[in-house]
Structure 1
Amino acid sequence: MCGIFCALSLASAHSQWNQRVYEHLKRRGPNLSQDLAITGSDLSYCCLFSAHVLHMRGLLTAQPLQDTAGNILLWNGEIFSGLPVTPEENDTTVLAQRLSSCNAPSEILTVLSAIRGPWGFVYYQKAGDYLWFGRDFFGRRSLLWTFDAEAGELTLTSVAAHTSGPKQCVWQEVPAAGVFRVNLKTAAEAGCVAFEVYPWAHAESDVSNDTIPQVLESIPRGCSAVMNQSGLELSSPVPPMNVSLPETLNDTEIHSNSCLSVEDLEKLLGSEEKTDEVNHLIDVLSEAVRRRVQSLPFRALNLSPPAIDCARVAILFSGGIDSMILAALADRHVPAHEPVDLLNVAFKLQEPKKQNESSRKPKNKPIDLKADRGNSQVLSPFDVPDRITGRAGLRELQELNPERKWNFVEINVTQEELQEKRLVHVCHLVHPLDTVLDDSIGCAVWFAARGVGFIAEGNHQRPFTSSAKVILTGIGADEQLAGYSRHRVRFKTSGHEGLIQELAMELGRISSRNLGRDDRVIGDHGKEARFPYLDEDVVSYLNSLPVWQKADLSLPRGVGEKLLLRMTARRLGLGQSAVLPKRAMQFGSRIAKMENSREKASDKCTRLHIV
Structure 2
Amino acid sequence: MCGIFCLLSRSAAPEGRDQAVLEPLQRRGPDSSRDVSVTGTDSGYRCLFSAHVLHMRGLLTPQPLQDAAGNVLLWNGEIFGGLPVDPDQNDTAVLSQRLQACGTAAEILSVLSAVRGPWAFVYHQRAAECLWFGRDFFGRRSLLWSFAAGTMTLTSVAAHSPASDPRSWQEVPAAGVFRVDLKEFARSDSVSLEIFPWDHPNIPSTSPESLPIYCLVETNPAGLAMSAPVPPLNESLPASSPDPPTESRLSVRDLDELLAGSARPDEAKRLIRVLSEAVRRRVQAPPPLAGSASVAVLFSGGIDSMVLAALADRHVPAQHPIDLLNVAFRLQEPKNHNKKRNKDSPNSGPTAPRTFSPFDVPDRLTGRAGLEELRGLNPERRWNFVEINVTPEELQEARRQRIRHLVLPLDSVLDDSIGCAIWFAARGAGTVMEDGGPRPFTSSAKVVLTGIGADEQLAGYSRHRVRFQAAGLRALLAELSMELGRISSRNLGRDDRVVGDQGKEARFPYLDEDVVSHLSSLPVWLKADLSLPRGVGEKLLLRSAARQLGLGPSAVLPKRAVQFGSRVAKMEDRREKASDKCRRLLTGFWLK
TM class by shorter chain equals: over 0.9
1:112: Cα distance to partner? 0.5
Does the alignment pair 1:255 with 2:255? no
Q: What SS class does the counterpart of residue 365 from structure 2 fall into?
A: helix
For residues 199 and 124 of structure 1, the distance between their equivalents in structure 2, rounded to whole angstroms, comes to 19
Query: 1-side partners of 2:586 and 2:212: how far apart?
Result: 21
- The one-letter code matched in structure 1 to 2:257 is K
Shift in Å at residue 519 of structure 1?
0.1
SS of corresponding position for 1:392: helix
In the other structure, the counterpart of 2:215 is 223
- 1:366-405 → structure 2 map (5 Å cutoff): 376-405=353-382
Task: Please state whether the residue corresponding to 1:275 is helix, strand or coil.
Answer: helix
Q: Matches of 1:353 and 1:457 in 2, distance apart?
A: 31
For 1:358, the equivalent position in structure 2 comes to none
- Give 2:460's aligned residue: 483
Question: Helix, strand or coil for the counterpart of 1:504?
Answer: helix
CA contact (8 A) 1:352 1:381 kept: no
Find 1:578's aligned residue among 555, 558, 570: 555
In 2, the alpha carbon distance for the partners of 1:405 and 1:277 equals 31
Q: Residue 483 of structure 1 aligns to a residue in which SS? A: coil
- Which among 262, 286, 290 is matched to residue 307 of structure 1? 290
* Unpaired stretches in structure 1, ≥5 consecutive residues: 356-373
Q: Which residue, 502, 507, 514 being the options, matches 1:530?
A: 507
Q: Within the alignment, does 1:337 sit opposite 2:322 as a pair?
A: no
For residue 377 of structure 1, report the CA deviation from its aligned partner: 2.7
2:340 paired residue number: none
Are 1:459 and 2:443 counterparts? Answer: no
**1:48-97 CA-partner distances (Å, limit 9, x unpaired):** 00000000000000000000000000000000000000110000000000
**Helix, strand or coil at the partner of 2:282:** helix
The answer (yes or no) to whether the contact 2:333–2:356 under 8 Å persists in 1 is no
1:435–1:601 contact (8 Å) kept in structure 2? yes
Q: Mark the CA change 1:419 to 1:344 in structure 2 (over 3 Å): closer, same or farther.
A: same
Deviation of the 1:595 alpha carbon = 1.0
Matched residue, 2:38 = 38
Read off the aligned partner of 2:173 and give its amino acid letter. Answer: P
Could you tell me which residue of structure 2 aligns to residue 133 of structure 1? 133
Measure, in 2, the Cα distance between the counterparts of 1:10 and 1:260.
Answer: 65
- Structure 2 CA distance for partners of 1:2 and 1:514, relative to 1, 3 Å: same
Question: What's the secondary structure of 1:447's corresponding residue?
Answer: helix
1:216 deviates by 2.9
Please state how far the C-alpha of 1:264 moved relative to its aligned partner.
2.1
1:497 aligns with 2:502: no
The CA deviation at 1:189 is 0.3
Cα distance between partner residues in 2 of 1:199 and 1:569: 37
Size of the aligned set, in residue pairs, is: 575
CA distance in 1, matches of 2:125, 2:560: 47
Report the equivalent of 1:468.
445
Task: Report the counterpart of residue 107 of structure 1 in structure 2.
Answer: 107
Q: CA 1:597–1:165 in structure 2 vs 1: closer, same or farther (change >3 Å)?
A: farther
Q: Distance in 2 between matches of 1:349 and 1:83?
A: 49
Does the CA contact (< 8 Å) of 1:14 and 1:153 recur in 2? Answer: no
Aligned residue number for residue 342 of structure 2: none
Provide closer, same or farther for how the CA distance between residues 166 and 557 of structure 1 changes in structure 2, counting only shifts above 3 A.
closer
Q: 1:271: how far off?
A: 2.5
Deviations for 1:366-392, whole angstroms, at most 9, x for unmatched residues? xxxxxxxx9643121100000000000
1:556 to 508, 515, 533: 533
Alpha-carbon distance in 2 for matches of 1:602, 1:155: 28
CA apart distance, 1:15: 5.1
Residues 167, 333 of structure 1: alpha-carbon distance in 2 compared, 3 angstrom cutoff: closer
Q: CA deviation at 1:354?
A: 8.8
Where does residue 370 of structure 1 map in the other structure?
none
Cα drift, residue 11 of structure 1: 4.4
Matched, 1:28 2:42: no
The reply to whether residue 321 of structure 1 matches residue 303 of structure 2 is yes
- The gaps in structure 2 that reach 5 residues or longer are 338-350
Runs of 4+ in 1 over 6 A off after TM superposition: none
In 1, distance between residues paired with 2:91 and 2:15? 32
Read off the aligned partner of 1:281 and give its amino acid letter: L
Q: In the alignment, residue 163 of structure 1 is paired with which amino acid?
A: S
SS in 2 for 1:89: coil
Q: Deviations over 1:401-445 (max 9, x none)?
A: 000000000000000000000000000000000000000000000
Q: Contact conserved, 1:173 with 1:218, CA < 8 A, in 2?
A: no
C-alpha distance in 1 between matches for 2:466 and 2:542: 20
| Matched AA of 1:515 | L
TM-score, length-scaled by structure 1: 0.92
CA distance, structure 1, for counterparts of residue 542 and residue 262 of structure 2: 16
Question: In the alignment, which of 234, 246, 251 is matched to residue 226 of structure 2?
Answer: 234
Q: Does 1:6 align with 2:1?
A: no
Distance (Å, rounded) in 1 between the aligned partners of 2:164 and 2:64 = 33
2:286: which partner in 1?
297
Q: Which residue of 2 aligns with 1:159?
A: 157
- State whether residues 160 and 429 of structure 1, in contact with CA within 8 Å, keep that contact through their aligned partners in structure 2: yes
**Alpha-carbon displacement from aligned partner over 1:107-154 (angstroms, at most 9, x marks no partner):** 0000001000000000000011000000000000000000111xx110
Given that 2:18 and 2:163 are in contact with CA atoms closer than 8 Å, whether structure 1 keeps it comes out as no
Percent identity between matched residues is 68
Question: Following TM superposition, by how much is the alpha carbon of 1:276 offset from its aligned partner in structure 2, in angstroms?
Answer: 1.9
SS in 1 for 2:84: coil
Whether the 8 Å CA contact 1:172–1:218 is kept in 2: the answer is no
Residue of structure 1 in register with 2:274 after alignment: 284
Q: Does 1:542 align with 2:519?
A: yes
CA spacing shift, 1:606–1:482, aligned 2, 3 Å: same
What is the letter of the counterpart of residue 107 of structure 1? E
1:365 paired residue number = none
> Partner letter of residue 124 of structure 1?
H
* Whole-angstrom distance in 2 between the partners of 1:169 and 1:190: 25
In the TM superposition, what is the alpha-carbon distance from 1:19 to its structure 2 partner?
1.4
C-alpha separation between the residues in 1 aligned to 2:464 and 2:161?
37
Asked if structure 2 preserves the Cα contact closer than 8 Å seen for 1:142 and 1:173, the reply is yes
- The answer for the alignment partner of 2:191 in structure 1 is 193
Provide the C-alpha distance between the structure 2 equivalents of 1:123 and 1:583, rounded to a whole number of angstroms. Answer: 41
8 Å Cα contact 1:175/1:215 also seen in 2: no
Amino acid at match of 1:317: F
What pairs up with 1:69-84 in 2 under 5 angstroms? 69-84=69-84
Please state how far the C-alpha of 1:504 moved relative to its aligned partner.
Answer: 0.8
Note if 1:170 corresponds to 2:168. Answer: yes
Whole-angstrom CA distance in 2 between matches of 1:546 and 1:215 = 31
Partner of residue 50, structure 1: 50
Q: Which amino acid aligns with 1:345?
A: V
Structure-1 separation of matches of 2:387 and 2:297: 13
| Structure 2 SS opposite 1:48 | strand
